[in-house]
Amino acid sequence: MRQEPYIDADLHGMTADQAIERIHALIKRANGSTYRIRIVHGYNRGNAIQRAIYRELGHGQNPKVLRVTGGENPGITELVLREYSV
């Protein structure tokens, strides 16, 4: 079964704990063809989800996540699972 090269997850309205639980499920579901998980968490109502992502998944906390990086705007965080190569 081929999966998209990235997974999008909209976590608006979730608590930080709910969001982290959902993100862990997405990481577990990702297969070898997935290279990024794009997390849309918003930024107008604080950045609790973003802080939780960096706390729980940054700095080698999960062996499947190479790094955590900012997205296209402040309301998006991306998990890089592997480097993309053409």
Tens-place pLDDT, residues 37-56: 999 999 877 789 999 999 99
CA distance 73 to 37: 15
Q: What is the pLDDT of residue 3?
A: 61
Question: What letter does residue 4 receive in the DSSP assignment?
Answer: -
Q: Which domains does the chain have, with CATH numbers?
A: 6-80 (3.30.1370.110)
**pTM flag (> 0.85):** yes
Q: What is the pLDDT of residue 86?
A: 59
Burial 61-85 (b: 16+ CB within 10 A, else e): ebeebeebeeeeeebbbbbebeeee
Give residue 83's pLDDT band: very low, low, confident or very high (50, 70, 90): confident
